[in-house]
Structure 1
Amino acid sequence: MGSKSLTDIIEPLKLAYRLKELFYCVPCGYQYVLSQPNKVRAAKSLGEWIRRAEDSNLKEFKSCITAFNNWFDEICNSFDYPWSNGPLEGTHTKIKTLKRNCFGMKNFNLFRKRIMFACK
């Protein structure tokens, strides 16, 4: 009896791994979502990935499928436009963390200076 890997034993895990591979740029003959050069090809590729994920009936992918369907146009636009609000979101998170850590600070000006210093 030969040794088997976990993906050979558990079919749902194997299917989930395959869906993950189809999303990222790993060469095996499929059109990958993240490697598309423009919005049109990304929309086609993402739509195909969503269809495959729905066909898999894996409950772990349900929320992902819902999010991708809800934000489909925005996700596809990101392939044509280089802008991102990621840096702004990072700054916002940093300020919220400081706000939680500085709870009860009586001097607003000192709190403001601490935010300005942290967000340099």
Structure 2
Amino acid sequence: MSKHWKERTNSAKHLDFMSTAHVGGLPIDASEEKGDWVYFVRECSFTFQFASLEQLKKMTEYFLAKVHPSTKTYNDGLEHYWQLWYERIPKGLIGGSKRERIHKALTNALIDFEQKQKG
């Protein structure tokens, strides 16, 4: 069973993993455009963390696709540990029934978060 929740943004605790190619993520500043909340979705023993609902939408779209392009893109000589967010998703989560379960969990969380945001 999936679980989702949100927490107040805390720059000492939360990191933005999707806006940077740096593996460790960047601290989230609530004063930035991302907002006051950090969103979490737990499914298949993995916890996804998002700095905005827009990031959650991007991840939902990613898990909708059954086939993905190569996971290693050319990085023009940058360090080997600089990867885009979708290159860092554990491989066991991307295919088959786990992909479908994660997509469903992300979709349900997105709907719930958007409904609560509207009122």
Q: TM-score, normalised by structure 2?
A: 0.27
Larger fraction in strand:
2
The higher-RCO structure (CA 8 Å, 6+ apart) is 2
Normalising by structure 1, we get a TM-score of 0.27
